[in-house]
Amino acid sequence: MFEVTIDQFRGPLDLMLFLIKEKKLDLFNLDIAELTLQYQNYITSMQQLNLEVASEYLSELAGLIEYKSKKLLPRDKTVLEAAAVEDPKESLVRRLLEYQQFKDITGQLQDRYLLRQQIYGKALSRKEIEDVMPDLLVEGNSYDLIRAMKKVMVRVSLQQPFETKIAARELSVDQRIDMLRRMINRFPASFALEECFADCPDIHLVLITFLAVLDMIRLGELLFTVDGEQIYLIRSTSDDGYNGNY
């Protein structure tokens, strides 16, 4: 049984590279039948765990099975040569090698990115040169703004299904706390406990939410009072020391 989950892979090629390494397959003399078997086992075990397997993984699986079955068919050399098609094995190996190259470069990019995050620029000195600043440096009109807002809205509406999918997945208590913090911002200073469950599609999330609320009370972010059978939560107004001033 694998201890890794599908989420750790960035796609079917990443998974194949993992299997090739894990099963010590020879990339330059790739046994497609063996790779197909391993890949299929993996996908099946993920599906048995009820993990969602993206369609990309399944379409590559179909491709692998096709390669494998072609290999089993009796070869007709003349047909193959006449068609002058690339050997499917070679093309798969080429794709894997190319993908591996880009996978390798990401480490370097990540390092460079993190280093750059640690050095800062300074803002434009406005006061120093105020008297020489021309009035308008920027050009634009209201149509630019409306178009930009349209783009934002289209993107948000396209992303909605993805976000719902994530919400329906299992959340950790910490993740739920982050969500609650944002939700609670929009609530009045005191509100009923039930408000926190308003977006819970199942009992599991209700439980996680309850744990999250308890934790937030422990952290002092929420206070609670009991009125009859009704529990009310109150946002703690204590300043946590954050002030954006220098």
5-34: which residues touch other proteins (CB under 8 A)? 10-14, 17, 20-21, 26-28
Q: What is the DSSP letter of 230?
A: E
The correct pick among 62, 114, 166, 198 for binding other proteins (CB under 8 A) is 114
Residue nearer to other proteins on the CB measure, 114 or 203: 114
| Coil vs helix vs strand at 165 | helix
CB of 80 to other proteins, least distance (A): 24
Which residues, numbered 120-159, are part of the site for other proteins (CB under 8 A)? 120-129, 132-134, 136-142, 144-159
The correct pick among 84, 119, 166, 203 for binding other proteins (CB under 8 A) is 119
The correct pick among 49, 51, 54, 85 for binding other proteins (CB under 8 A) is 54
Residue nearer to other proteins on the CB measure, 50 or 125: 125
Contact 64, 35 (CB under 8 A): yes
| Coil vs helix vs strand at 177 | helix
Which residues, numbered 65-94, are part of the site for other proteins (CB under 8 A)? none
CA torsion angle 74 35 97 46 (round to 10): 140
Which residues, numbered 182-221, are part of the site for other proteins (CB under 8 A)? 182, 185, 221
Contact 216, 180 (CB under 8 A): yes
| Alpha carbons 147 and 69: distance in angstroms, whole number | 51
- Quick note: the x/- pattern for other proteins over 162-181, rule CB under 8 A, is x------------------x
| Alpha carbons 238 and 190: distance in angstroms, whole number | 14
CB atoms within 10 A of CB 141: 7
CB of 55 to other proteins, least distance (A): 9
**Applying CB under 8 A, what is the total number of residues that bind other proteins?**
86
CB of 116 to other proteins, least distance (A): 5
CB atoms within 10 A of CB 236: 14
Q: What is the DSSP letter of 3?
A: S
Closest Cα partner for 167 from 200, 198, 195, 213? 200
CB of 114 to other proteins, least distance (A): 6
With contacts defined by CB under 8 A, name the span among 42-50, 103-111, 166-174, 192-200 that binds other proteins: 103-111
